[in-house]
Amino acid sequence: MNQKLLYRNSLALLYQKYPEAAAALACGILLCGGWLALHFGGVGVALLLLSAGYCIGGYQSAKEGLATLWEEKELDVDLLMIVAALGAAALGLWQADYFLIIDGAVLILIFAISGALEDIAMQRTDRNIRTLMAVTPDTARAIVGGEEREIAIAQLQIGDIVLVKPGELIPTDGEIVEGKGSVNQAPITGESLPVDKTIGDRVFAGTLNGNGVLRVSVDRAPESSLIQRVIRLVEQAQTDAPPSQEFIEAFERTYAKVIVAVGLLLAWVPPIWFGWSWETTIYRALIFLVVASPCALMASIMPALLSGIANGARQGILFKNGAQLEKIGTVKAVAFDKTGTLTTGDIQVKRIIPASGYSESEVLRLAAALESCSEHPIGEAIASTAKAQSLSWEAATQVQAQTGHGISGEVGDEKIWVGKSSFLRDIVPELPQELCQKSACLESVGQTVVWVAKSGKIIGLISLADTLRPHARPMMKRLKKLGIQQIVMLTGDNQQTANSVARELGIDRFYADLLPEEKLTVIRQLQKQYQTVAMVGDGINDAPALALANIGIAMGGAGSDVALETADIVLMANRLEKLDRAIELGRRANRIIKQNMAFALGFIALLLIANFAGSLNMPLGVMGHEGSTLLVTLSGLRLLKNWD
């Protein structure tokens, strides 16, 4: 009794999880029963079993095929398979050759098995993506009135404090307000090593707190957390068909009509011209319907692209859709923003050089009064340095920033300007010669110089420097090995600074002193020359260039809304070294797609030749057709595997 119950439960579980596999299994059992019945002379029982097998195994294909015919007035391969199977059955009944009905049942069975295997393969791809993302707990330890209380994630509000103990998943995006620990961010960013976090650092839902007790202040609604946004983007990537897939689907509809027309023609021409019997002609025409169907061709693209998307997500590379995975495999030129992309973005004040009669602290204090109102990395570095030196300043008023130039405002009764030398020349016609020489010297070694003026007079300059990403130079060499024809750097910094960085990294060309809109002009020029151009930036001030480029790649997607919304691809961990992996992933995907399509078309041609040579029966034709479909599907899944 227990064994029977276990058996029924197993079948129910199989049907619930894999309904197409359950239908294929039932069809196979009925087919075997019908074949045995025919061998032992039970024609009536055999026909009953085979009819049930036709209905169960072919139900899904018939349903989808008829729905397409009814709703879209189009033929598809599912309906062609059903027509071929029913044709074989009708021919078998007509000739009283009941083993032809077996041939049709084999067609139904193998088609059902193929559909089941493809469904399992797609579920595996989906599972690989989901296991990367769906790692958030259902509840959180909220601190309410000084007491710990376990509540549902959906009930968390912005400003709530949640407690995260060692070994627990962080339930929501937020900022650490107490404690420190080592957090494993691999599910979000692909980083192989845990990251040390302390007060003021951001943490993300779905990451694992390795040690230390953390108190985290919720700073966004749970449904807007980074991991939920990534899940939505991945789901969109699975449903958005790339151009190649859309072309194949459109081709398939026309191709199906051609197959039907040729099949009908084959049913009439050979008996008249070649003297074939009607039975032979119809049988060959039915086999033609099977082997000429483009199932393998249809399966050549999406499994490979979905596998590539899953592989990338596992490594912290987020492709928004399959089209971007295809495109990045064809990229010929790459343009990089400098600050925050080729460099760490951690800008620090190196020197403060006051003009005669002024002190370093006065220059820094007045510059900080204005720059504290700016969100630019240079402004933040100046303000941070002033705070570190315990300087205080009066709040600036009438502050106006000119993107790419500088900032101006009033501090007390004094008018203050901070920015590039070109910005200050409109205020002070002649810059002090001594400071100009020092500025040129600092810029020649890659430092950025900011000039400070008060009441129309230069009072000093501040030099700042960023550090290059350690993987930037090796990355340029790897890009060249991948066949990238042109590597370009775009920056708003001056010529000397840009030249120093470009020379150190081995970049082909650079464009300096660029405003955001001027970067668009460079991207357009590159597109005319190289067709497919990728732009790599920080996703904020480079948003227009990211949007214009054929492929926009954002650094630092973790927490950046603009990066997730604007870019086509996001390097989730600020890891520049993942760029060549993304390009190689795209190129491997394109190679696999081309291999699959060549194999599919070649195999169709081979089966057609064998059919008209008279050496192919229905079961072998079905096995060849569905086997090739399964092979290209499995071939596409090769991209799930990492490579060295």
Active site residues: 337
Encoding tokens for residue 225? 């957390």
Would you call 270 helix, strand, or coil by DSSP? helix
Q: Considering only CA atoms, which of 337, 334, 306, 335 is closest in space to residue 319?
A: 306
Instruction: Name the DSSP letter for residue 468.
Output: B
Tokens 């098995």 found at: 113
Three-state SS at 240: coil
Q: Are 636 and 592 in contact (CB under 8 A)?
A: yes
CA separation for the pair 610, 284 (Å, rounded): 10
CA distance 491 to 161: 41
CA atoms of 32 and 53, how far apart (whole Å): 10
Euclidean distance between CA atoms 299 and 593, whole angstroms: 9
Chain centroid offset of residue 278 CA: 54
- In 3D space, the residue among 337, 294, 304 whose CA is nearest the CA of residue 121 turns out to be 304
509-511, strands of its sheet edge to edge: 317-319, 569-571, 551-555, 533-537, 333-337, 486-490, 509-511
Element containing residue 234 per DSSP (H, E): helix 226-239
Instruction: Locate 224 and state its tokens.
Output: 């807007």
Residue 418: its H or E element: strand 414-419
Interior CA angle at 317 toward 314 and 323, to 5°? 110
Cα–Cα distance for residue pair 186/314, rounded to 1 Å? 8
Answer whether 338's CB lies under 8 Å from 491's CB. yes
Q: What's the CA gap between 250 and 387, in Å, rounded?
A: 63
Alpha helices in 240-315 (DSSP H): 243-273, 278-291, 295-298, 302-314
How far apart are alpha carbons 519 and 33 in whole angstroms?
A: 71
Contact 527, 552 (CB under 8 A): no
Can you say whether the dihedral through the CA atoms of 372, 378, 380, 382 is positive or negative?
A: negative
Q: CB-based contacts of 177: which residues, under 8 Å, 6+ apart? A: 161, 199, 215, 216, 217
The DSSP string of 38-62 is HHTT-HHHHHHHHHHHHHHHHHHHH
Structure tokens at 301: 């693209």
Nearest to 407 by CA among 353, 449, 371, 363: 371
Region of 50 (left: φ > 0; alpha: ψ -120 to 50; beta: rest) is alpha
**Residue where the block lists tokens 């051609």:** 258
